[in-house]
Amino acid sequence: MILAAGLAMLCTPQLKAQDDDNIFKHYGLSVGFGLTGITIDASTMITDYVGVRAGADILPSLKYSADFEISGMKDAKKQAAAAPAPNMQVPNIPDKLSIEAATHLGSGHILIDGYPFKGSSFHVTAGAYFCSSEPITLYNKDNGAFKDVKDFNDRKAPYYDGWKNVADAPKIGMQMGDYFLEPDVNGNLEASIRVNGFQPYLGIGFGRAVPLKSRVSCQFDLGVKFWSTPSIYLQDHELTAEDLNGEGNKVFDIMSKITVFPVMTLLLVGRII
The helix/strand/coil state of 78 is helix
Please state the pTM of the whole predicted model: 0.77
Q: Where are the domains of the chain?
A: 22-271
Residue type for position 123: H
Contact 188, 195 (CB under 8 A): no
For 253, phi then psi, to 5°, come to -60, -40
**Sign (positive/negative) of CA torsion 182, 184, 185, 186?**
negative
Q: What is the rounded CA–CA span in Å between residue 58 and residue 39?
A: 6
Distances (CA, A) of 61 to 105, 191, 227, 233, 255: 7, 16, 19, 20, 21
HSE-up (13 A, CA, CB side) for residue 180: 7
The answer for 246, left when phi > 0, alpha when psi is -120 to 50, beta otherwise, is: left
Identify the CATH assignment for 22-271 out of 3.40.640, 2.40.160, 1.10.1760, 1.10.260: 2.40.160
Residue type for position 221: D
CB proximity list for 105: less than 8 A, separation 6 or greater:
36, 37, 59, 61, 131, 132, 135
pLDDT reported for residue 80:
57
* Distance in Å from the first CA to the final CA of the chain: 41
pLDDT reported for residue 149:
80
DSSP state of 211: -
Residue type for position 268: L
pLDDT reported for residue 84:
53
Q: What is the rounded CA–CA span in Å between residue 189 and residue 102?
A: 14
Contact 70, 95 (CB under 8 A): yes
Contact 252, 193 (CB under 8 A): no
Residue type for position 223: G
pLDDT averaged over 10-residue windows placed end to end, the chain, 273 residues: 36 39 79 96 93 96 83 62 58 73 95 91 97 92 82 72 58 70 85 94 95 92 95 85 64 81 96 88
The helix/strand/coil state of 189 is coil
